[in-house]
Amino acid sequence: MVALHNRLRTLDFDLLGDLAFFNNWTFFMAEDYEPEIGELVPTGPYAGSLGAFQAGVTVRTRYPDLRATAIARNQTNFWAADSHRVVETAKYFAAGFWGIDWESETAKLHIIPETSGLGADTLTTGNTCKAYLEPHNHQGRHKGLRKLEEWQSVYIPPIIQRLEQQNPGLDLSIREVFSMQELCGFELLARGSSLWCDVFTHDEWRDFEYARDILHYYRTGPGNKYSAGRGFPFLNATANLLSSGVSAGSLFFSFVHDGDILPLLSALDLFPSPEDLPTDTAPQNRVWKTSSIVPMGGRIEFERMVCPYVYCHSNAPLYPNHVYCDPPHPEPYIRVVVNDGVVPIPGCNDGPGKSCPLAAFERRVMLRGWEVGDFGKLCGLEEGAADKITFLHQ
């Protein structure tokens, strides 16, 4: 984005048409912009700090009894990956959930390193899975960029043609047009509005949305062979906590990057697609939409519910009108909530509120573990590397 801005500023002619606004436009970051890169936006209607605080208030309102239980039992540990933006998000959330004075009186934040030698005992397996990071591995993290470039070469050339017809001699590249589209979102966060958003048509924005879908699907989502295996250690640790119930603790909060959330969803196979996303056309009815799954401040909640269950049986066909029901007894269920919306677990959602019986959930996680395989072997780690998460406990 900075390179695009600097080049357009050196042009010896004024821009026309859809880009005419740029002649009087000012960049939304200071000249010394480096400290701002990758940080929470502190002000404005879309400020990340405000969003995290509001999320804390929302969750506090949704689970007041669980919060009270956690405080009464002094079970208020929570965790964040060791990135300044992630840690600040966790702190703003804590202020909304636990209260402004949470650091001195209520809860304790544990910062988990993002270093490469932790094996599976981390929140950020994208930094520890060596095979995934290998630059010459076409199935690793670079697969997303490669697939993105394939789609960019399909939808961006007509945009270049339109803008260059309005501005002869502009000579835009595919990367520069993509940066223009990204500028819309970044300036929107910083200022609350952006004239860059008006440069593109509705269909062109749909194509950009799909570009982001492709990038995340193939880089950290189910289109990457390492995704489910990377996400399984956290899924397995979460399943163990859910199996233990309230005795393990009533609340567990972890804060990570979007690239660490998507592997968890892959491990659970929560958004299955009948086929991988193509790079020559954008399917309109696709299941995988990054803007819905991991928007800014996206959240995943695993809820453990205990509901009365009644088992009924009959002696049909001998006695077709006789149905016998046992007395109701409590039964635990698991429900997944993504960004405040319930997402049924495929093949296991016949419980209350589209939930999954705990026993069935445990079986599903066990089977997924067999399917995705050993984390160390998948990632090419040394023998003896950590194979599970050990820090998630109250």
Per-residue pLDDT reduced to its tens digit, 235-253: 999 999 999 999 999 999 9
102 falls within a domain: yes
Query: How many domains, the chain?
Result: 2
Same domain, 155 and 85: yes
For residue 315, what are the domain limits? 304-358
Read off the CATH number of the domain in which 203 is found: 3.40.50.1240
pLDDT value, residue 367: 97
83 falls within a domain: yes
Q: Which helix (H) or strand (E) holds 181?
A: helix 174-191
Same domain, 215 and 314: no
Average pLDDT over residues 368-384: 96
Same domain, 56 and 87: yes
348 falls within a domain: yes
Instruction: Fill in the DSSP letter of residue 80.
Output: E
Same domain, 254 and 349: no
CB contact at 8 A, 125 and 227: no
Higher-scoring residue by pLDDT: 316, 363: 363
Helix (H, G, I), strand (E, B) or coil at 319: strand
Q: Which helix (H) or strand (E) holds 240?
A: helix 227-244
Same domain, 323 and 337: yes
Q: How many CB atoms are closer than 10 A to CB 206?
A: 14
Q: What is the pLDDT of residues 260-302, one digit of tens each?
A: 999 999 999 999 988 999 999 999 999 999 999 999 899 999 9
Same domain, 61 and 152: yes
368 falls within a domain: no
Same domain, 117 and 237: yes
Q: How confident is the model at residue 34 (pLDDT cuts 50, 70, 90)?
A: low
Cα–Cα distance for residue pair 298/220, rounded to 1 Å: 15
Instruction: Fill in the DSSP letter of residue 167.
Output: S
Same domain, 326 and 253: no
Question: Tokens 């945009």 — which residue?
Answer: 159
CB contact at 8 A, 388 and 125: no
254 falls within a domain: yes
394 falls within a domain: no
Helix (H, G, I), strand (E, B) or coil at 113: coil
In percent, the amount of the chain with pLDDT more than 70 equals 98
Q: What is the mean pLDDT of the chain?
A: 94
Q: What is the pLDDT of residues 128-164, one digit of tens each?
A: 999 999 999 999 999 999 999 999 999 999 999 999 9
Same domain, 339 and 274: no
pLDDT value, residue 30: 67
Whether 324 has a pLDDT exceeding 80, the answer reads no
Same domain, 232 and 279: yes
168 falls within a domain: yes
Average pLDDT over residues 114-136: 97
Q: How confident is the model at residue 32 (pLDDT cuts 50, 70, 90)?
A: low
pLDDT value, residue 108: 96
What one-letter code names the amino acid at 167?
N
Same domain, 241 and 323: no
Same domain, 348 and 290: no
Least confident of 168-172, 189-193, 364-368: 189-193
Cα–Cα distance for residue pair 94/106, rounded to 1 Å: 10
278 falls within a domain: yes
Angle value at C-alpha 366, between 332 and 333, nearest 5 degrees: 10
